[in-house]
Chains A and B, each alone.
Chain A
Amino acid sequence: MPVRVETYAGLDEAAGALAANSAARFFAGGTLLMRAINEANPSFDTLIRATDPALKEIRLEGDAIVVGAACTMNEIMAHRELAFLAPVARGIGGPAVRSAATIGGNLFAWSPFGEMTTALLALGATIRFAGHGGQVAIDEFLSNRDRYRGQIVRSVSVPRISDPSAFRFLKVTRVKPKGAALISIAVRIGRPGSGETRIAFNNMNPVPTRALAAEQALQGGSLDEASVSRAASLATDGMNPPTDALASDWYRREVAPVHLKRVLLGRT
């Protein structure tokens, strides 16, 4: 399949070119799009690139860390302020994949991929777009992800986590140390008595999804055995897991509560 590649120095120009062509895709690290080209995927005919350095910046902004969309998993692992995301990044592919895979690209990854996006959903990140695209909460982005394919993600704003125990992540695989995830779970623990606990699953729905019923069961409470068991029993509410080469939907429904309970009790 012939593919046309257009490279722009500025993000706004690139955003304009992408918006004008529904058969174009924005090219960042290439781990998904080059794979599609190698498989002669006919769903796009143009790649839009941008060399704008804004895509590579990582900076603090109030209580958040703004991560440029083209920052790779290796760059996230190397950044001190993003140490809480390092275990997530380290779980994505081997070292050669992590040199190329970007945080922006991961937002569009399809099942069984998308661990970083799952973590960002649990953290309550905000997605900022280039041009006049504005910004949206990741919850809104994921619920209408296809609608955003015509826009360029400029950066992801991630809440800072000062207490490492407030964020937990587990990727469940059959092949160690690396393998595609059966499921992955990310949890941001709220402050006892007041904070909101957010729980996100990957590979339990077509896109990363919050376990809202389980979250509700934990609101305002401590993570004792009884409340965690109650939350785990609600983990699969609203989930419609896929059956694929890795696992059946039945298996995913069976193991998701078990792994969630272990994550919440710190027994992984």
Chain B
Amino acid sequence: MAKKPVQFRLNGDEKAAFVDDGQNLLDVLRRGVGDLTPKYGCGQGTCGTCTVLIDGEPRLSCLTLAETVDGHAVTTVAGLADGATLHPLQDAFMCHFAAQCGYCTPGMLIAAKALLDRNPRPTREDVVEAISGNICRCTGYEAIINAILDAANAASGSSYARG
């Protein structure tokens, strides 16, 4: 079966890959261009650990047909930090010990970024809603919710916006 060429912008860098018919974006990110930060969880759209941003919208990369990102911008958790400087959300996750096994963390961070990009002053209810598609089996969510709220409180609009 013929492969299709796909070009997209990944965390600010131009990427090109040949994708198979029916191949999902997660597979292309992990095996095609070597970004191992989005994780494969359920493959059913239930756990959220493969969440990425496509043109700023949260999407499940395991359920995204790879060829549909041609010409679009993809952001993974690898694109959050500015060099050695962590993104405010990453700082807050560390401060609040919001990761244990860490498997859900990439999806949680991206879901949180999608929320704060749209709503820099979320309520607790907003945060719960924003991560409602992401499953964590370790922390019980409280530390994650507190970290996201703390990142929103600590980072006023301009400093948060650097992510």
Contacts and interface: CB of A to CB of B under 8 A. Distances in A.
Interface of A: 1-5, 7, 27, 30-31, 34-35, 37-39, 47, 74, 93-97, 99-100, 177-178
Contacts of B24: 34, 37-38
Interface string B20-59: 1110100000000000000000011100100100100111
Contact of B58 (A27, A38, A47, A95): A95
A2 B58 contact: no
Nearest to B129: A177
Contacts of A94: 48, 111, 130-134
Interface of B: 1, 20-22, 24, 43-45, 48, 51, 54, 57-60, 62-65, 67-68, 111, 114-115, 128-134
Contacts of B132: 94-95, 177-178
Contacts of A3: 21-22
A96 B133 contact: yes
A3 B43 CA distance: 17
For A1, A47, A97, the residue with the greatest tally of chain B CB atoms inside 10 Å of its CB is A97
List 10 A-B pairs, minimum CB-CB distance, nearest first: A94-B133, A3-B22, A38-B43, A96-B58, A34-B63, A178-B132, A5-B21, A99-B57, A94-B132, A96-B60
A4 B20 CA distance: 9
A3 B19 CA distance: 12
Contacts of B48: 94, 96
Given A3-B22, A47-B22, A95-B58, A30 B67 contact: no
A47 B68 CA distance: 13
A31 B58 CA distance: 13
Nearest to B44: A35
A30 to B, nearest CB: 5
A39 B43 contact: yes
Contacts of B54: 99
Contacts, number: 88
A10 B111 CA distance: 34
Given A96-B111, A97-B133, 17 more contacts: A2-B1, A2-B20, A3-B22, A5-B22, A5-B65, A5-B67, A27-B65, A30-B63, A39-B43, A39-B44, A47-B22, A93-B45, A94-B111, A95-B132, A96-B114, A100-B60, A178-B132
A178 B63 contact: no
Nearest to A101: B45
Contact of B63 (A7, A31, A74): A31
Nearest to B67: A5
B57 A74 contact: yes
20 contacts: A2-B22, A5-B65, A27-B65, A30-B68, A31-B45, A34-B45, A38-B43, A38-B44, A38-B62, A39-B43, A39-B44, A93-B133, A94-B111, A94-B132, A94-B133, A96-B51, A96-B133, A97-B45, A97-B133, A177-B129
Contacts of B51: 96
Contacts of B68: 30
B61 to A, nearest CB: 9
A119 B63 CA distance: 25
B45 to A, nearest CB: 6
Contacts of B111: 94-96
For A34, A99, A178, the residue with the greatest tally of chain B CB atoms inside 10 Å of its CB is A34
Nearest to A35: B44
Contacts of B43: 35, 38-39
A3 to B, nearest CB: 3
B65 A34 contact: yes
A30 B1 contact: no
A74 B56 CA distance: 13
Contact of A37 (B22, B57, B128, B129): B22
A4 B21 contact: yes
